């Protein structure tokens, strides 16, 4: 689908439903997370073909640390394997990797993997893949407000300059999978005038065709930004 004036530049996805996907199949939760990683691969590949400048994925929230230690460990392992196995492909495909959130809580070896991947893809320009890790929107807004206050006046423009997404296009469309209808502390500032789409599909079953359909739905909406 070619990019048109009605197409979004920046799409974000709350990737929800891995656990329920596994439960429906009587599999352990880690099996759902592994299937979710496969869905990520397909969606990232499709993003450039669909003309997206930026795709932001909610991978690990600041609240996810409360999950069982074994599950958190599994998620960290999956993340490292994903970077190791897919980085070459992303680099060749012109994907720039960016992370939003606070990496300080991750183990040094994980931070090293992530920072190395960011550095390797820094000059790519076809598509930006922003991954939210240890991310919470309320924390992001507090950090941005503090930085703005340190420089002077706290204004909308100054806060926006200090958001984790400051170098990215405005958020156009936010999708949540699995049928849940809430934002879960994700991109609260950026979503102020974004279009929202909640779909019943569990994340591991979300395909490039689902993404293309979401973009078509976006193209049919009339965006007023508070106007008539």
The first and second tokens of residue 226, run together, are 């508070």
Give the residue numbers annotated as catalytic, written as ranges: 16, 64
Pairs from 147-153 (Cβ < 8 Å, separation ≥ 24): none
User: Which is nearest to 100 in space by CA: 38, 32, 33, 12?
Assistant: 12
CA–CA distance from 189 to each of 141, 154, 178, 195, 225 (Å)? 7, 15, 23, 13, 14
The residues near 137 (Cβ < 8 Å, ≥ 6 apart) are 183, 185, 186, 187, 188, 189
| Phi, psi at 105, each rounded to 5° | -85, -15
Q: How many Å apart are CA 143 and CA 164, to the nearest integer?
A: 9
């Amino acid at each position: 689908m070619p990019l048109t004036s009605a197409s979004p530049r920046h799409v974000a996805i709350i990737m929800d439903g891995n656990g329920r996907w596994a439960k429906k199949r009587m599999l352990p939760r880690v099996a759902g997370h592994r299937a979710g990683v496969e869905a990520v691969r397909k969606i990232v590949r499709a993003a450039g073909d669909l003309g997206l400048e930026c795709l932001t994925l909610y991978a690990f929230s600041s609240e996810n640390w409360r999950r069982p230690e074994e599950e958190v460990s599994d998620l960290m392992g999956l993340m490292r394997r994903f970077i190791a196995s897919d980085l070459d492909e992303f680099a060749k495909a012109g994907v720039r990797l960016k992370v939003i959130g606070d990496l300080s809580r991750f183990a040094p070896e994980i931070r090293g993997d992530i920072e190395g991947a960011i550095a390797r893809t820094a000059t790519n320009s076809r598509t930006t893949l922003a991954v939210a890790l240890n991310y919470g929107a309320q924390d992001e807004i507090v950090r941005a407000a503090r930085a703005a206050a340190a420089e002077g006046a706290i204004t909308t423009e100054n806060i926006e300059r200090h958001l984790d997404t400051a170098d990215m296009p405005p958020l156009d469309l936010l999708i949540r999978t699995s049928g849940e209808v809430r934002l879960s502390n994700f991109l609260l500032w950026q979503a102020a005038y974004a279009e929202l789409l909640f779909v019943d599909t569990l994340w591991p079953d979300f395909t490039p065709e689902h993404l293309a359909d979401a973009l078509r739905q976006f193209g049919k909406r009339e965006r007023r930004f508070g106007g008539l």
